[in-house]
A and B are shown apart, each in its own frame.
Chain A
Amino acid sequence: MSIDLKTVKHISKLARISIDDEKANKLKGDLNNIFEFIEKLNELNTDNVQALTSIAETTLRFRKDEIKSENIREKILKNSPEENKDFFVVPKVVE
């Protein structure tokens, strides 16, 4: 199976990474090489194998449902790329 330019552009759209045609062509080559290598898995019959879901094989813990108010608004906003007091600022979304 090979990945064509249209698919590369489609994946880049899904991944929200804009790429120009030159980059897309280079990526197409790289991805095809990598997928050729990955296709090796098809040699194996895995019909009766259960997929691994957790490597640690433990059940997730429960914790008490308590309110822990630490008032960390300032800390959360500290690394915001654009400052505007108490909010994250993004380009206008609703016209």
Chain B
Amino acid sequence: MSDITSQSLFELTSNVKEKKLSSGEITKAFIDRAEKSKKLNVYVTDNFEKAIDQSKKFDSNPNFDLKLPGIPIAVKDLFCTNGVRTTAGSKILNNFVPTYESTVTQNLWSQGAILLGKLNCDEFAMGSSNETSFFGNVQNPVGENLVPGGSSGGSSAAVAANLTPVTIGTDTGGSIRQPASFTGTVGLKPTYGSCSRYGIVAFASSLDQAGPMTKNVRDCSILLEVISSFDQKDSTSIDYKRNCYSKELSKDIKGKKIGIPKEYRVDNMPDEIEQLWKNGISYAKDCGAEIIDISLPHTNYALPTYYIVAPAEASSNLARYDGVKYGFRSPGQNLIEMYEKTRSEGFGDEVKRRIMIGTYVLSSGYYDAYYLKAQKVRKLIKKDFDDAFSKVDAILTPSTPSSAFKIGEKTNDPVSMYLNDIFTVPINLAGLPGISIPAGKDKNNYPLGLQVIGKPFDEQNILNISYALEDKINFKNDISDWWLSE
């Protein structure tokens, strides 16, 4: 049997069910590795003591019918966990201990999983490199001083470094798929309305979705099956029959029509990414898929649209952090001064920037010029996809315009940081499902990902296409454990 922490979720689950491994052994293995991996800074808060108790409890009365029997899992620190500190990577929530549980994490525990801890992320999920976190940047296990992507950077690093078998992140403009691409892991953003947003610290409510981040496509299908559910507590949760994604997973994609959008060939895109895309296309053909050239004419307008819609929603969502009912408070002479000081000291620079953008575009006299305009363009972007999906079953693109970059390389130029999400943002604006799978490496040996985009609620199809491509690509991450301490 291979080393416990390097096993996939599927292998661990099988080993537990066949009584080759206990929950206690698995939990201890991940905790031991985490103790030696502090250099990566993936954890904001660990739950190790309680996790050991819970694993013992599972082993004393195991239920092997569950989908995650006694499996320890760390989650992004954006999910509220009952009794366990939840910070969203922000000083303003530094001392916040929720008294309720997010629906998505509750779904994990209901299937037998055990909380290992809370993973670092960009502050309020605003960032593409995990450098905006109040708790410091995360190291990408792929190489020293590389960013792990963001905002789910602690999550992507933890999966790639074998610190959790799988995890869940959130994706507002690419925050699952971009870090997955940067770390050689798999990340899926489900259709808007598929996973409940209840108990997730809100960033931009019309874009936010939780999703699985895993080592491979099969694990991704298992985890999606667990977390996707209809929920009365989320008014935008959609009541539809969800597939048994892992049971229906198949490499047979013969005759599937896969669209290649010409607008995703952007200026200054490295040749390696162009080549990666070509390889993906030829693998899809090898699997019997039909390749069709398509056009998504408004692609170039997606990022500017996103940088109106997302900050507008964020400025409204983050109005709740006023130092009155929970979180950090800075005292003031009067109520207004208390608000202003609390928010000034409690939020980091990127969050303030976005609140300011959002406040401006929603302010009197500017609403029509910015917010309304953006919502109109958003409609055009959505229509591009509707038109494309009348001709194809799925769309194949690169996940990101570059591989992981160095820590500090883009922190002084917000716009260059935003350009990271150029291929992922349109999918959130249109509410579609998208998955990033590792597909190759660049000249520095850093991973690169391909993205498969699907029709609404067609997660099964993009999982199947990814499953077939994964088999052909046969990606190996070869991470050297350079960060381990004794």
Contact = CB atoms under 8 A, between A and B. Distances in A.
A43 B355 CA distance: 25
Nearest to B193: A56
Given A44-B301, A52-B376, A58 B193 contact: yes
Nearest to A58: B238
A67 interface: no
A30 interface: yes
B308 to A, nearest CB: 6
Nearest to A56: B193
Interface in A8-52: 8, 11-12, 14-19, 27, 30-31, 33-34, 37-44, 46, 49-52
Given A15-B343, A37-B304, 16 more contacts: A11-B359, A17-B340, A27-B356, A37-B418, A39-B304, A41-B304, A41-B373, A49-B379, A51-B378, A58-B238, A81-B329, A90-B338, A91-B331, A91-B335, A93-B334, A93-B335
B344 A19 contact: yes
B389 interface: no
A92 B325 CA distance: 16
B94 to A, nearest CB: 11
Contacts of A76: 99, 325
Given A15-B315, A19-B344, A46-B380, A33 B324 contact: no
Interface string B154-196: 0000000000000000000000000000000000000011000
A63 B376 CA distance: 31
Contacts of B1: none
Interface in A44-90: 44, 46, 49-56, 58, 60-61, 63, 72, 75-76, 78-82, 88, 90
Chain A, interface size category, equals 35 or more
A55 B376 contact: no
A80 B298 CA distance: 46
Interface in B388-446: 413-415, 418, 429-431
Contacts of A49: 376-377, 379-380
Contact of A40 (B192, B304, B359): B304
B352 interface: yes
B30 to A, nearest CB: 29
B376 A80 contact: no
A82 B415 contact: no
Given A11-B356, A40-B300, A55-B430, A34 B415 contact: yes
B327 A44 contact: no
A44 B377 contact: yes
Interface string B285-317: 000000000000010110111011000000100
Interface of A: 3, 7-8, 11-12, 14-19, 27, 30-31, 33-34, 37-44, 46, 49-56, 58, 60-61, 63, 72, 75-76, 78-82, 88, 90-93
Majority-rule SS of A interface residues: loop
B22 to A, nearest CB: 35
Kindly list the 7 A-B residue pairs having the minimum CB-CB distance in the complex, ordered from nearest. A79-B326, A81-B329, A51-B375, A55-B431, A75-B99, A18-B340, A46-B376
Given A16-B343, A55-B431, A79 B325 contact: yes
Interface string B224-253: 000000001001101000000000000000
14 contacts: A11-B360, A11-B363, A14-B363, A19-B344, A19-B352, A40-B304, A41-B373, A46-B373, A52-B375, A52-B379, A54-B236, A56-B192, A79-B325, A91-B335
Given A17-B344, A55-B431, A38 B301 contact: no
B96 A79 contact: yes
Interface of B: 95-97, 99-100, 192-193, 206, 232, 235-236, 238, 298, 300-301, 303-305, 307-308, 315, 322-329, 331-341, 343-344, 347, 352-353, 355-357, 359-360, 363, 370, 372-380, 382, 413-415, 418, 429-431
Contacts of B352: 17, 19, 27
Contact of A51 (B100, B236, B325, B372): B372
A36 to B, nearest CB: 8
A55 B99 contact: no
Which has the most chain B C-beta neighbours within 10 Å: A18, A27, A46? A18
A14 B370 CA distance: 17
Contacts of A33: 413-415
A80 B374 CA distance: 38
Contacts of B431: 55-56
B336 A16 contact: yes
Given A46-B376, A56-B192, A88-B324, A17 B355 contact: yes
A91 B334 contact: yes
B339 A41 contact: no
A30 B359 contact: no
Contacts of B97: 78-79
A39 B429 CA distance: 18
Nearest to A42: B373
A17 B378 contact: no
A12 B359 CA distance: 8
A79 B87 CA distance: 13
A91 B337 CA distance: 9
B353 A30 contact: yes
B192 A55 contact: yes
Contact of B360 (A3, A19, A51, A63): A3
